[in-house]
Structure 1
Amino acid sequence: MNSIQHGLALLQLAWLIAAVTACRPSSSDVEACWSGDWRYEGPALEGAGGVIIAETIVLHLDASGGCRIERFGRQLDEAMICEQVPTAGGLDLLFLHYVDGKLRNDYGVAAYAVREPLLSLRGQRDSASPSVAWGTLMPDAGATGSFGQFRRSTPTLGKVDDDRFLS
């Protein structure tokens, strides 16, 4: 990451911290204001053999607190269970384990520690595209240094139907 990218990332983080939002921890339905599916599409980058590949991250957030993150694209294919933690400006997502219940990925690497901050969503209640403060789940921005935003990909959902993702 060069100094310009670093400066832009710090500026974005400062703006996110200063943002005033409608989702507050005192609200009884903080998780509900973020519930549903959220999708991030990274920049399309040329891979081996000229194939264009974009990293995609999908958040499945349940109104009762369930959380699953799927990440795929540029040599990625992982799914993990996370914890939703309401904050003054939005919602933090913390790593719990991979969907198979393990703390190590398919390659035997413990890429994340339990309760490690993966990312934070910030924005207005029911926003179509909240701001994001990346934790250790930071995507590969490629040469552009642009990380984009999450966008709501389905209407607000009530509960994730598959209970194996909520443990």
Structure 2
Amino acid sequence: MITEPKLENRHEQHYVAIRTYTTMQELDTAIQQLRGEVFAWLGKRGVAPAGAPFLRNLVIDMEALLEIEVGIPVASASSTDGRVTAGVLPAGQYASLVYAGWDRGIEANAALLDWGVQKGLMWDAWETEKGRAFGARLMSFLTDPNEEPDQAKWETEVAIRLADHQPW
């Protein structure tokens, strides 16, 4: 299942995360490990999550390295340490969709990007020497794997921020 894409305005969202570089082949392992570390960090400080954990794609080069953050939304992030850092997802208009099945992430991302091209949307993105960078490109993990062990039923939202100035 992949839902129909939609556009929505979002407010800024504070979060804490761990940033790393990984390959596509190591991505699943990195997500699981870092999500556990961030949840443990929050637990030690008595901070409650304010939303679903996510993967933020900062720079994408599918053939080489991905620069990512694995984060968790919080009400506010006043103090962090060296490994866990605070950030803010920018406010703005986002295109998003939801898909089911852990292994359908590439397909769902492609569907959203293709839909954006068909609609003439401009992403908050730019080319760098390390790959395509994004102002805010997220995969939010809506299903808790501790509550639903069947990966085919896991739901994930893909959301990409649009550039502030659209051609229309």
TM-score for the superposition, normalised by structure 1? 0.24
Higher relative contact order (CA 8 A, sep 6+): 2
TM-score for the superposition, normalised by structure 2? 0.24
